[in-house]
Structure 1
């Protein structure tokens, strides 16, 4: 099979023909011959047949070259220098396979101008990557609690990926927000596995419908950035399956995701890219995954062990000091010679990837870039952001009057929130795409908070309003008002007379660091008094570990308290990685409670328009929290030990144990009897709703139907999310409840609708089952399970009982 004669750039098989059974059509359609040198280009064949033909025709050196990425100019796109591709082989008509990062838009991709590439490694994080729409963060998409929003999100990404001639989208991110301080929480979809799996599956389907291959990442237990390259995670098998692997299982079974990325960390003693139990026994054996597995960049640590475990593609293959590429020809040949691997192992790895490429049509379309429809996609980005925002608190001040004449936007001079459109890694004075993390998108344009408010007021017919931008220093002493130097005393005078004051704050994070402060650079000794996901603390760079010596305080809380005391019409807009630990004084009834709190997440390039539309009621907030917001000092991070986070050294290896087991996120608050600031699933609207008459009944095919009537009892149109939870019998050893269904419903004022949410015991989210580690399978929880219906995890009515 590998003894080929190469002539005129075409692979010719000498004295051998390969005929696949069941190809259909001409019996010679699968035969390699002088007249048919590339039968794998026959589009009438199934993708797996085409892949088998191709691999069977390739010489061993060519196979080895195709297993690893490379850096350089993309042959088909000479304007692009990239370090995220596998070069094509024209003699086999294999196109260059081009990869883009994610998960919040077309991130660091495979097209940097050669003049600014700066070498292979620099091209991986260059701010000069091809531009695309900077969408709202993935945590925001999850907050929409709307599959249609996830579909819109994935559709924009798939469309723009195709515009830029990209093939692989390294996303969705399907890890969970186990830790409120997790640095990449904004890239993921919250703390609940069912919500993550549902929204991620919708995104996968949309991306892949556009001819891109989606890549669910990072499998698995990649829930912290601290020591992420070396951390070893100990997670009991039941917790692993019921929480952390469940979203991936849903993406595989329901979304038919084409690729999965193995993560940096180890799980239960095995580096994830060498974890045969998870990559082969579970992913392919239990779940039936037929796609391919790619390593996270530089996450492979061996040659034979990774391939035999189930890895199919090592990335990036770019030379970097101190980092080894393991699937080089010399290492592969040595493994073959020693018998550690066989040629068939290489063939299997390639066939898995080629099958997905054929399925996506990558072999059958030219590698041509086309213009992105920036205006159309920008409108979608704005719509997603508006449906993702969560109204946490409101005394009736919001929406603001459209006739306001004097508005102050207030923020910290050292922070981006009031100054620029915000995405992950945003920093003062730097454009989007310059942070250095996987999700950095070089935006097509951006809308600042000031510009957005001015635009929206003008669109509402208010041309006389004055909007002031006020930036206060970290000491709350000096400030600028509309760019002119001033004092905080002068700011307070301005604020006292304002019709509305909008304070913008939050917490920025990025790949590479969690939102915590450490006493030294080891990342094993955390300072519990300086978590960076509170309003005050921040580090010098969001993607770098912050030590006690470099942490700073912006004194934002004191500023907010002073402003609220001066003007009760103060609205706090949060732009966050995921969770903001809320000081009790800011909560309803607290001494410094603002008139309203609006969580906008990282809104992306349309930031200014999104927030202004929400503040003035052009859009009605309808998002729900996909994470639990704790009160300062009373959350999960305040209860755990070092072994749970950030880890302890075990035989020189940083090691974390998920000792809380199934009690993560809202499950922990429920099990511990703790009261959060705002619970999972919570979110207000500018109208009001009632959810009544909850009931559960048996339907066809063993499916249970949960129904409830929803009425818009307010005066304007809006949307409510009906949420269904199940409390398994106490004998199951499960937390008090788990989310098993949700439905968003849009209603005009006074309108009602009956909503039906199905619970399928055989669904791939296993709503009524628990994981049996001994049998290595799901089993129904024996006894009666209580079904709850409501509009948050703590505003629920009992609908009935399901007995198994």
Structure 2
């Protein structure tokens, strides 16, 4: 069926709907879905959070999902084709879970390194972000599943994200923040866009007529659905006039009955309602949820092995930023000391709505233990990034028991992670919000080590915590000082007491949580956690043990990490420091063993004050469920670390040119204009720890030739090393002489990946878009080419270019 055929089916269905049915369709029926309308053959459209996996409508480890590496990792591959394969896998996962719409990808920019949710976005550069996002959207929609590219627009920090008014001038808004959305809309034709919580220049994005109706739909031709971020829609009339189609979640929102009443009162335009419903029906037709309309995709892509692809993306994303004296890959037969709490309990994904629950996680310790003989690997904790209890994990066997007001059991559900996260109608069978009076997390815990174990709670309301027959807490947790309502509800972890336990001896545990309206969640749901922390030991003693292990080994591998209290949705970062004693650990180990390799398990930049003191530094991002296996592949040389930096890594936060993320009087002024990321570093004349585009492999490359035309470049490179490898050939443009308007010193104009064996050459064909030489003219409101001579350089990173040529651009189209 053609697009015209689907449009006929949409119009036929639309004509059968009255005002009440139309407005009900725009409000959602619950947390994750739209109402079915059987009279017109419309099935319920189901949505799910992304972007690294498809959680589905249940927020529980009982319903596992493939967990891919973080978006920063995907961007570090510099491979839109790989992003497309990731999207196809996610479409496969979505169809398995009955999901029609994936709430992803996130294409906001890394404006400041303090952005708390940057692990969920791709890059500081709009061109790279647009290219990776285009591949991702194409891949998901190849599988017949819709995407909602988010968060439109300038949602680049978390502080006061619900209310902040981001003041952005027209040029940076167009050239930076809107640019990835424009690229994706024009090149991938996404079926959905999600508008952000924040305001832009005085208007909240769910009501932004200019940016939604005039730019997104008018200039770019977007014909898909515009859905609000959850709870972002605030005003019925302004939202429908501003181009918002879906106000989620439902049913209690500014649409539905409120919208029907506004139309009848003459306060809202019925024609705008009709257009919104038409777009929702078009989405349903595209994904196969409307009878009489053949879905866009009838022949699905070939099945994909999710675990294998997760492992491939992880190793392709690892960025080797330092490798002195060929410390990596490890020589065969070397004795390895693996050090760090994060080596045993890896952080594989970021916190917040991006969370999914994989069926298993391969930690660095798991990966290396599977790849090395037992006699060649030792492990030491060294330092723990957190001294706070975390959700109950290994050793716990738990279930959640639901009771009514009379104390009768009305339902149960297993609880693999100790977290109760029942949002919307995701409750155990037989349980409703009206009948549910209390939830008890109960079961056993078998310790992995003897000593004083700490237990705690997270959430709001009353709790009774009992371990091994001893009541550790019986009280009420109230609201803290968290500004973000979601962060406030999840709350800070609270330690409630300790119990002396013996390795291997199970004990009974119970956390009883009566529900009350005073401490209800911001969305319908039940959200709280049983927390645990193993025996604390003297930090100096742990570091001393790690030093002893390092001295006895040929190579020491230290895994350092951030935590959910450092990088997560809902808040920005206070600094870029690694938490706990991890910096001390690295320095002590490096002093004991010159062959020290540090693996940085963080979703976005951290300070590494010891980076010049160690042999190698490998950035693993949040590497997904197969991260440990991929790490073993790379460390042992079975595979090459393929990543390049998608964002600049500063040596210290003080060096970073743009750091402000906290509004003043409700406003955050983007006073830096065009100068974020490497553009700002160039303007400041400052040198970061590692520049944009940087990344080492296991071979060497010679750049042999650059052929330039107005439409693109052909770059010939040769692998001059002894191993096969992949090179990311990057193309940067800079004006030879200053023009009539201020511009960055240079900017990324294109890139391509090539592969070659030892001694072989390869050619990279890199298109050179006209937009690379244009600026947004604020006076005319149009893109304008700046004529003149441009230096076009190609190489391995922003600061390591090998060849150059001059291109003359005229001012005509």
TM-score when normalising by structure 2: 0.77
Distance 1:792 1:236 in 2: 29
Task: Check if 1:94 corresponds to 2:42.
Answer: yes
Number of equivalences: 648
Distance 1:284 1:488 in 2: 58
Q: Partner of 1:565 in structure 2?
A: 591
Q: Partner of 2:17 in structure 1?
A: 58
Report how far residue 45 of structure 1 moved: 5.4
The 1:630–1:514 alpha-carbon spacing in structure 2 relative to 1, beyond 3 Å, is farther
Distance 1:743 1:262 in 2: 31
Partner of residue 780 from structure 1, selected from 770, 776, 785: 785
Partner of residue 113 from structure 2, selected from 180, 183, 188: 180
Distance 2:157 2:135 in 1: 25
Q: Partner of 1:11 in structure 2?
A: none
Q: Partner of 2:336 in structure 1?
A: 407
Distance 1:474 1:105 in 2: 25
Distance 1:181 1:504 in 2: 22
Q: Does the 8 Å CA contact 1:133/1:374 hold for their aligned counterparts?
A: no
Task: Check if 1:503 corresponds to 2:558.
Answer: yes
Q: Partner of 1:725 in structure 2?
A: 732
Task: Check if 1:490 corresponds to 2:495.
Answer: no
3-state SS of 1:84 partner: coil
After superposition, what is the alpha-carbon deviation per residue over 1:198-243, rounded to whole angstroms, capped at 9, x for unaligned?
Answer: 1100111110010101110000000001111111100001100000
Partner of residue 646 from structure 2, selected from 626, 639, 642: 626
Distance 2:43 2:790 in 1: 53
Distance 2:672 2:704 in 1: 35
Q: Partner of 1:692 in structure 2?
A: 704
The 1:474–1:337 alpha-carbon spacing in structure 2 relative to 1, beyond 3 Å, is closer
Partner of residue 513 from structure 1, selected from 560, 564, 570: 570
User: What root-mean-square deviation, in Å, do the aligned CA atoms of Structure 1 and Structure 2 show?
Assistant: 2.3
Mapping of residues 755-794 of structure 1, within 5 Å? 755-761=764-770, 766-794=771-799
Distance 2:2 2:37 in 1: 19
Mapping of residues 40-439 of structure 1, within 5 Å? 46-71=5-30, 83-107=31-55, 109-110=56-57, 112=58, 126-128=59-61, 130-317=63-250, 325-329=253-257, 331-363=258-290, 376-395=305-324, 396-404=326-334, 406-412=335-341, 417-425=342-350, 435=351, 437-439=352-354
Q: Does the 8 Å CA contact 2:344/2:366 hold for their aligned counterparts?
A: no
The 1:738–1:707 alpha-carbon spacing in structure 2 relative to 1, beyond 3 Å, is same
Q: Does the 8 Å CA contact 2:384/2:582 hold for their aligned counterparts?
A: no
3-state SS of 2:730 partner: strand
Q: Partner of 2:379 in structure 1?
A: 468
TM-score when normalising by structure 1: 0.77
The 1:497–1:788 alpha-carbon spacing in structure 2 relative to 1, beyond 3 Å, is same
Report how far residue 513 of structure 1 moved: 3.5
Q: Does the 8 Å CA contact 1:139/1:188 hold for their aligned counterparts?
A: yes
Q: Partner of 1:740 in structure 2?
A: 749
Q: Partner of 1:598 in structure 2?
A: 618
After superposition, what is the alpha-carbon deviation per residue over 1:312-363, rounded to whole angstroms, capped at 9, x for unaligned?
Answer: 01101266xxxxx21130x223311331223222111010121122123233
Report how far residue 388 of structure 1 moved: 0.8
Report how far residue 483 of structure 1 moved: 5.7
Structure 2: any 5+ residue segments left out of the alignment?
Answer: 296-300, 388-447, 451-536
3-state SS of 2:608 partner: coil
Q: Partner of 1:12 in structure 2?
A: none
Q: Partner of 2:362 in structure 1?
A: 447
Distance 2:213 2:384 in 1: 54
Q: Does the 8 Å CA contact 1:472/1:488 hold for their aligned counterparts?
A: yes
3-state SS of 2:792 partner: strand
Distance 2:687 2:567 in 1: 29
Report how far residue 556 of structure 1 moved: 1.3
Q: Does the 8 Å CA contact 1:141/1:189 hold for their aligned counterparts?
A: yes
Q: Does the 8 Å CA contact 1:506/1:534 hold for their aligned counterparts?
A: no
Task: Check if 1:586 corresponds to 2:611.
Answer: yes
Report how far residue 685 of structure 1 moved: 0.6
Partner of residue 648 from structure 1, selected from 657, 660, 664: 664
Distance 2:235 2:5 in 1: 33
Distance 2:774 2:289 in 1: 39
Report how far residue 512 of structure 1 moved: 3.1
Report how far residue 707 of structure 1 moved: 2.1
Q: Does the 8 Å CA contact 1:506/1:580 hold for their aligned counterparts?
A: no
Distance 1:93 1:717 in 2: 55
After superposition, what is the alpha-carbon deviation per residue over 1:110-138, rounded to whole angstroms, capped at 9, x for unaligned?
Answer: 1x3xxxxxxxxxxxxx3347321000011
